[in-house]
Amino acid sequence: MARKSIEERLAQLDAQRQALKARLGKEERAKDTRRKVLLGALVLHRLGEDKREFDRTLKEWLQRELPGFLSRPDDKALFDDLLAAPSARSQQDGSNTSEPDQMATVGIPET
């Protein structure tokens, strides 16, 4: 059995290094996705409660920020219920959308 040359061994090590880097990248993307899912689940849970001032303020902030953040029509369609026109929202739930902005009081920075 012939021994591999140094160049062949280096090539093999480079291939292994690339494979490990790819696996690491995949693990990092999976962690990032999991964090987003869990954070989204928390936000949706809080939006469903609407019992505390923070919950209402979070909803108002999302209604202001999401339209500028979402660019694809399919993504916007996922949030139709949240992004409904203010007059339609106030008729549906009786909410008063003319309340002053209180984002600073709950610690959510304005952008």
pLDDT-derived band at 96, boundaries 50, 70, 90: very low
**Which residue type does 93 have?**
D
Q: What is the dihedral of CA 88, 90, 92, 94, to 10 degrees?
A: -170
Whether residue 35 has pLDDT greater than 90? yes
Terminus-to-terminus CA distance in the chain, angstroms? 67
Predicted confidence (pLDDT) at residue 34 exceeds the cutoff of 90: yes
pLDDT of residue 38: 96
Residue 81 and residue 46 in contact, taking contact as beta carbons nearer than 8 Å: no
